[in-house]
Structure 1
Amino acid sequence: MTRARPWSNTFSATGSVWSEIWPQLLAAGEFGSGSAIFEEQLNLLEKAGVFTALVPEEYGGFEMEGPAALAVIEDLAYINGTLGWTACVGVAGGLFSFELPPAGAHEIWSDSNPLISYAGANSGTLTPSGDGFTLSGSWDMASGVTHASWVALGCTVEGGHPAATAVALVHRSECRLGPPWVPVGLAGASTAPVSIDAVPVPRQRITFDVTDEQNSHTRRRYRFLIPSAMGAVSLGIGFACLDSLASRQVRPDAEQMKHQLLGHSYAQLLAARSFLHEATADVWRRASRGQASELEPNARQRLAATHAAHVANQVADAASRLGGMAAITQGTSTSERWLEARTITANITVGDLYYRVYGGVAADGRAPLSWP
């Protein structure tokens, strides 16, 4: 049985329906990350309203603060990385409730708790058609798409519209899905290519990235939470690795090594967690107040998300090495968590380059690279 962590437990301590769902998720056990999330777990997450954690109350959501939502994602990733990743995708999808016109947000969220997949690359073309638009294109990767009800797709805008790019939300039934992506870790995250051809999209389901820099920032100001959510998944996996190691018997001559590794690794993870929550809370407050985007706080928040993912990966690797052959045997919880942690660091959203980005900001006051 997975044991609780005293420094988190946000999910289980909310005092709402979530506290009822938590024991059921635990009872489901640590289902293997190599298999798809079962319908039972998805139904529990939807029933609990996890995918509407950030959605405003007027649309039926919980309207949580960003850092609190990170703790929920971390708790779920502690049970299983794929479960946490699916929660990450669903929570992040709720961010579009801040960007869409009210009619579009009501259409999507008012009577359901949908999971929204997101393919952020501008790989589609949005073309004016009557009072709305049509969307065509192909996207290499949309995480969570086979579980999703809606898909948010990045695109360029044709026809002289003042916005150069946009994100359009379409129902998953209007998408053609390619063969699922099967990574070595988080294999149940239901990621697949997406393509559509001339699908009508009403204006109310489109969020335009307008050309005016400040106006664009105001509409998109909460998307920064996406890398933080990925970092939270990594932290949950890292803490699960360490708690598993703490309860594992080792040879008497390795006991002191185990204690040293545990103390050092818990310190690393707890520090990374504090950094992530502090940096995220700072940028969340700025966004909530409608303040202009500033380079250093934004770069620091991205650094914190990247650092959380990479520290968790280092901790999982160290725990795996101490566990010996048993820890790298296929199908064991330690090996699966190690692969999950490593898989997240391969995502460009929390890629190693963000150490260099923040280094450039600290040294020269400017970002040396464009930010993917």
Structure 2
Amino acid sequence: MKVDSGSALDGATILANADRIGPLLREHAAEVEAARRLTEPVVNALRSTGVFRMAMPAAWGGPEVDICRQIEIVETLSRADASAGWCAQIGADSGYYSANIDQAAARSLYPDLDAVTAGWLTPAGTLEVCDGGYRLSGRWSFGSGVTHADVIVGGARVTENGSPRLLADGTPERRIAMLPAAQWDVLDTWRPLGLTGSGSHDYTITDTFVPAENTWVHGRSYRSGPLYSWRGMVVVNFVGVPLGTALDACDVATSILDAKVLVPEMIPARDAPRVRAAVARAQAMVGAARSYVYDTVSTFWSVIVAGDEPSIRQRAHLAGLLVHTVSECRTAVRLLVDTVGSVAIQDECSLGRQMRDLDTIAQHTLGKSRMWEWAGAMYFGQNSPSPLL
């Protein structure tokens, strides 16, 4: 296996590299699941593709890959292993998060374009004001990729002399802190049914100094360019994971059914009308979801590239798209699992793992049913409670 690498990587090359490491990711998928984290060969393979640098700016020598190509890259990796695709899209947040702080500080924190970021933005910690910055303490959950990260982030409430510091409008101040991974402690807590290899452990830090320039709030960017001009771009490539997982599940199920004989009928499964109908329905569901993704996101991207602010209706389209993709892909794979039958529940069958992965993805904020409610409210002109939508 040979992948192209170097500072001149572009989106097309990263995509080709992602495709080339597919066999390695498949080979290591069971080992990754057992380890409950990405193993070193998998992390090294992902790093070699350039996926972790895909949102890094051209000013730093990064590829600054457009968002549709990013989805395609994540989708390609997720066809081979959802945990690898999941960690790839989160690790690539480095390019977005580093845009939110002064660029001299950002370059110091990210001297390597392939540096991996992990962490949770929800304010589960406290930033106590001190000279030059803050003292950070807290414990965060769902640190996907935290076991191989170079930089870790944590959302926190700002306190001063132990009391919450308030903004001008009277609401508590919140900031996100970023520090090198060596300054955090990872706790062995991740034992889920799906996305097991993502290593989404809890992590903690106690009374650690964070320079003021290493903290940020949503909505401010120190960079120009479309990738960094809209605060929610960081979550859009998320949809590549359910798409890639479901697309591969369609292929896996079809292959199994092509060789299966139904009992007690003793006829080839491929000849059974219910099997044919299920395969066709699943393919159509995933294909339609995929078309909706690229159509909606490309339209949204054209608005951003033109320098315009997305309307609340355009943001509603995007919010609904996120949960729709997860829902449709999950339903399609459930149909395939039910059609394949007992083969799908065996350890060696990737279809069962793909179902578990999609069940877990559906518990993420972006995949939960309340996202439908948020998207619907936006169609009526009401803003989402999420700062990223």
TM-score interval (norm. to shorter):
0.7 to 0.9
Task: Provide the residue aligned with 1:314 in structure 2.
Answer: 331
Task: Provide the residue aligned with 1:34 in structure 2.
Answer: 33
* Change in CA separation of 1:14 and 1:354 when aligned onto 2, cut-off 3 Å: closer
Shift of 1:83: 0.9
User: Cα deviations across residues 244-303 of structure 1 (Å, max 9, x unaligned)?
Assistant: 122222333632333322222222112211222233333344445554453221121011
* 1:185-224 to 2 correspondences below 5 Å: 185-209=194-218, 222-224=230-232
Q: Does 1:347 align with 2:364?
A: yes
Task: Provide the residue aligned with 2:7 in structure 1.
Answer: none
Amino acid at match of 1:366: Q
User: Cα deviations across residues 77-131 of structure 1 (Å, max 9, x unaligned)?
Assistant: 0001111111121123431132221112212334341110021111122233222
Shift of 1:233: 0.2
Amino acid at match of 2:13: S
So what's the TM-score if we normalise by structure 2?
A: 0.82
Counterpart CA distance in 2 for 1:222 and 1:124 is: 26
Q: Share of identical aligned residues, percent?
A: 20
Alignment RMSD:
2.8
* Change in CA separation of 1:195 and 1:221 when aligned onto 2, cut-off 3 Å: farther
So what's the TM-score if we normalise by structure 1?
A: 0.85
Task: Provide the residue aligned with 1:238 in structure 2.
Answer: 246
Counterpart CA distance in 1 for 2:242 and 2:125 is: 30
Task: Provide the residue aligned with 1:365 in structure 2.
Answer: 381
Counterpart CA distance in 1 for 2:348 and 2:195 is: 13
Shift of 1:237: 0.5
Task: Provide the residue aligned with 2:6 in structure 1.
Answer: none
Q: Which 5+ residue runs of structure 1 have no aligned equivalent? A: 1-12, 213-217
Task: Tell me whether 80-89 or 254-263 shows the greater mean CA deviation.
Answer: 254-263
Counterpart CA distance in 2 for 1:206 and 1:284 is: 28
Counterpart CA distance in 2 for 1:204 and 1:371 is: 24
* 1:34-53 to 2 correspondences below 5 Å: 34-35=33-34, 36-53=37-54
Shift of 1:220: 7.7
Q: Does 1:166 align with 2:175?
A: yes
Amino acid at match of 1:294: S
Counterpart CA distance in 1 for 2:157 and 2:68 is: 32
Amino acid at match of 1:128: V
**Does the CA contact (< 8 Å) of 2:289 and 2:324 recur in 1?**
yes
Shift of 1:14: 5.5
User: Cα deviations across residues 309-359 of structure 1 (Å, max 9, x unaligned)?
Assistant: 111111111111111111122342111111111110011222111222233
* Change in CA separation of 1:235 and 1:24 when aligned onto 2, cut-off 3 Å: closer
**Does the CA contact (< 8 Å) of 1:127 and 1:133 recur in 2?**
yes
Amino acid at match of 2:369: D
Q: Which 5+ residue runs of structure 2 have no aligned equivalent? A: 1-9, 221-225, 262-266
* Change in CA separation of 1:182 and 1:25 when aligned onto 2, cut-off 3 Å: same
Counterpart CA distance in 1 for 2:363 and 2:18 is: 31
Q: Which has the larger radius of gyration?
A: 2
* Change in CA separation of 1:284 and 1:132 when aligned onto 2, cut-off 3 Å: farther
* Change in CA separation of 1:220 and 1:48 when aligned onto 2, cut-off 3 Å: closer
**Does the CA contact (< 8 Å) of 1:167 and 1:206 recur in 2?**
yes
Counterpart CA distance in 2 for 1:110 and 1:58 is: 13
Counterpart CA distance in 1 for 2:13 and 2:218 is: 36
Equivalent residue pairs, number? 353
* Change in CA separation of 1:94 and 1:220 when aligned onto 2, cut-off 3 Å: closer
Counterpart CA distance in 1 for 2:62 and 2:361 is: 28
* 1:1-372 to 2 correspondences below 5 Å: 16=13, 19-20=16-17, 22-30=19-27, 31-32=29-30, 34-35=33-34, 36-159=37-160, 164-209=173-218, 222-248=230-256, 249-251=259-261, 252=267, 254-255=269-270, 256-288=273-305, 291-362=308-379, 364-366=380-382, 370-371=385-386
Counterpart CA distance in 1 for 2:381 and 2:12 is: 44
* Change in CA separation of 1:240 and 1:139 when aligned onto 2, cut-off 3 Å: same
Counterpart CA distance in 1 for 2:214 and 2:304 is: 22
Amino acid at match of 1:301: L
* Change in CA separation of 1:177 and 1:20 when aligned onto 2, cut-off 3 Å: closer
Amino acid at match of 1:34: E
**Does the CA contact (< 8 Å) of 2:64 and 2:227 recur in 1?**
no
**Does the CA contact (< 8 Å) of 2:139 and 2:205 recur in 1?**
yes
Task: Provide the residue aligned with 1:3 in structure 2.
Answer: none
Q: Secondary structure at the match of 1:195?
A: strand
